Every structure is written in C-alpha cells, then in structure tokens.
C-alpha cells in the first residue's frame, strides 16, 4: 500500500523541521509520500521544507479553508491511505505511521486517529483536556458508537482514500471539518478507531483572548452543522474534574482556571449564536478572521 502524508503549513518554522525529521525516521515497509500545502508563510517554514523530499504547493491565505485545503491536498495524493498531520504535531516514535494505518486494512474501518501528548509546559487546563480525550489506552474510543468517538481529529488521523473520495470534507465550515466528516462516515456505517500507539506531541498554550476566539470558532462550526452539544449537562462534571486536576498542581492556579473556562464558554456560546452577529463583529471574535470577510 502507498501512504500520502498531508500537512498544511503557515508560519510553522518552530516545529515543521522536527515533524519532517520524525517522519523521515519512520520504520514502515509501505511506500509513502509527503504533500505540503502552505498558505502564505512569512518565516523560514518553506526553507525548512525544502530540505526534505516533499511535494510542495503554495496558495494565498484567502484561499485557505480547513476542509477545502485538505480536499485539495487529497486530490493530489497518490496513496491508498491519506494521513493528516498538523504542522505542529511531532510523531512520538518511529512506529507512529505504521501503527496509525495498520487497522485501515479492515474494510469496515474508514479512519483511525492517534493519541495526542501535551508538552510539559502546557497549561494544566489544556493538559487535562488532552489527557482526558486522548488517553494512553483504548478506553472509550474502542467502541464503534459515534458519540464515543466525538474527538476524531485531523491533528493526527488517517482515512482510506476510497472512503474520502466518497465522503469529502465539508468546505463551508470554519473549523471542525474532522468532527463533521466523522459524523457523516459513521452515519454511512463505517468504523472509526482510536489508536493510542500512534502518538504525537501536540498542545497549545492559549491566553484568555485566544481561547475565547478558538471556542468562538468551535461554536460557530457547530452552529453551521446544526449540532447542539450538551454543554451544560456534560460541562459541570468536566469542570469539577478539571478543577481537581488543576488543584493537584497549584491551588493558586484555580482563579485563572475558572476564568479560562469562563472565556471558553463565552466564546462557544457566542459562536453558537454567530448568526445573530454582523460580520464586522465576527472578524474580531474569531481566530480565523479572514473567513468572515
């Protein structure tokens, strides 16, 4: 089988070299190619990419869309399996790729996605989120039930080409094209498997303003999908567990953690109601401001 590894970049000079270096160290018998689409990097991202064997394409920033650009890259692919990897997701071992694609030989399995390991310097709230939803064992993700696979993520995923060719990423969503794709694949009867052995290092340290914008976009995408997640019902238990986790690290971090979650909720709620807001306001609330222009 041939594998196409797809990476979207923009100003990822701090990580893209490490990502490509780890890919080059993979222990796998299958042939693979690397396809990179850059949407206007102004740092040394492109210079670093040029040091590796990758098929490179450039687009202008206004052409970028999470679903649209991944569809574009997938059309260029020659592989039987499409692996989507974020430009800041560093494979944790030389067997990452082999583990990620192994289960795709099962025709009932449309896709797999791997574990994300937060960096040590990551804020405890973000570390709790990642560790809870991308555990080190199969845990809840071993089920075929879509509700238990809600965190399928293109940060670190693989999809059979024939399934992607039938079910493509939605191009109108601001983000969450991966969640939307997984839901539609599940509705078609396909299996989506979590593979904790296919791990990458990946996390973000958002400030309050950034976390508001990130969750505004998340809420907006759920609004666009017509989805209404049970934020209140599920959020209380999550909040209590999260505060317990944060308290174990630092009691003095609790006030900031409460503010952090408040900004997440306000951002998500605003995004869910984005239809009520004019575009002139949404450009200031969103992490992807160009989407609203």
Q: What is the pLDDT of residues 163-194, one digit of tens each?
A: 999 999 999 999 999 999 998 998 999 999 99
Whole-number Å distance between alpha carbons of 279 and 282:
5
pLDDT of residue 92: 98
For residue 272 the two structure tokens come to: 């869910």
pLDDT of residue 143: 42
Please give the share of the chain, as a percent, with pLDDT higher than 90: 85
Give the confidence band of 231 by pLDDT, cuts at 50, 70, 90: low
Task: Report the candidate in 194, 197, 203, 192 with the shortest Cα–Cα distance to residue 131.
Answer: 203
Domains of the chain: 2-201 (3.90.550.10), 208-292 (no CATH)
pLDDT of residue 91: 98
For residue 229 the two structure tokens come to: 């997640």
Whole-number Å distance between alpha carbons of 161 and 157:
13
Give the confidence band of 237 by pLDDT, cuts at 50, 70, 90: confident
Give the confidence band of 139 by pLDDT, cuts at 50, 70, 90: low
Q: Are the beta carbons of 269 and 215 closer than 8 angstroms? A: no
What confidence tens digit (pLDDT) does each residue in 204-214 have? 999 999 999 99
Q: Are the beta carbons of 87 and 20 closer than 8 angstroms? A: no
Whole-number Å distance between alpha carbons of 178 and 114:
13
End-to-end CA distance of the chain: 42
For residue 32 the two structure tokens come to: 């693979």
For residue 18 the two structure tokens come to: 């490490």
Q: Are the beta carbons of 149 and 182 closer than 8 angstroms? A: yes
Q: Write out the chain in H/E/C secondary structure.
A: CEEEEEEEECCCCCCHHHHHHHHHCCCCCCEEEEEEEECCCCCCHHHHHCCCCCEEEECCHHHCCHHHHHHHHHHHCCCCEEEEECCCCEECCCCHHHHHHHHHHCCCEEEEEEEEECCCCCCHHHHHHHHHHCCCCCHHHHCCCHHHHCCCCCCEEEEEHHHHHHCCCCCCCCCCHHHHHHHHHHHCCCEEEEEEEEEEECCCCCCHHHHHHHHHHHHHHHHHHCCCCCHHHHHHHHHHHHHHHHHHHCHHHHHHHHHHHHHHHHHHHHHHCHHHCCHHHHHHHCCCHHHHC
pLDDT of residue 156: 98
pLDDT at 37 over 80: yes
Task: Report the candidate in 180, 168, 259 with the shortest Cα–Cα distance to residue 218.
Answer: 180
pLDDT of residue 232: 63
Window from 58-62, 137-141, 256-260, 268-272 with minimum mean pLDDT: 137-141
Whole-number Å distance between alpha carbons of 107 and 287:
37
pLDDT of residue 228: 79
Give the number of C-alpha atoms closer than 13 A to the C-alpha of residue 100, restricted to the C-beta side. Answer: 35
């Amino acid at each position: 089988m041939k594998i196409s590894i797809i990476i979207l970049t923009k100003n990822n000079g701090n990580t893209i070299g490490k990502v490509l270096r780890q890919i080059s160290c993979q222990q796998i018998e299958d042939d693979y190619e690397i396809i990179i689409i850059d949407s206007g990097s102004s740092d040394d991202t492109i210079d670093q990419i040029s040091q590796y064997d990758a098929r490179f394409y450039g687009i202008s920033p206004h052409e970028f869309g999470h679903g649209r650009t991944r569809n574009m890259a997938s059309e260029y692919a020659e592989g039987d399996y499409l692996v989507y990897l974020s430009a800041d997701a560093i494979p944790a071992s030389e067997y990452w790729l082999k583990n990620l694609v192994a289960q795709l030989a099962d025709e009932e399995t449309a896709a797999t996605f791997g574990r994300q390991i937060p960096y040590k310097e990551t804020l405890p709230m973000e570390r709790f989120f990642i560790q809870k939803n991308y555990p080190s064992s199969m845990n809840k993700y071993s089920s075929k039930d879509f509700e238990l696979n809600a965190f399928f993520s293109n940060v670190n995923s693989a999809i059979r080409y024939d399934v992607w060719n039938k079910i493509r990423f939605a191009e109108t969503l601001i983000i969450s094209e991966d969640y939307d794709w997984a839901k539609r694949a599940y509705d078609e009867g396909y299996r989506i498997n979590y593979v904790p052995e296919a791990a990458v290092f990946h996390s973000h340290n958002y400030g309050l303003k950034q976390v508001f914008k990130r969750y505004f976009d998340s809420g907006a995408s759920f609004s666009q999908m017509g989805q209404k997640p049970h934020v209140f019902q599920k959020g209380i238990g999550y909040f209590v567990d999260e505060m317990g986790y944060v308290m174990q690290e630092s009691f003095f971090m609790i006030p900031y953690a409460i503010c952090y979650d408040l900004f997440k909720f306000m951002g998500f709620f605003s995004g869910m109601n984005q239809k009520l807001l004019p575009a002139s306001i949404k450009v200031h609330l969103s992490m992807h401001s160009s989407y609203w222009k």
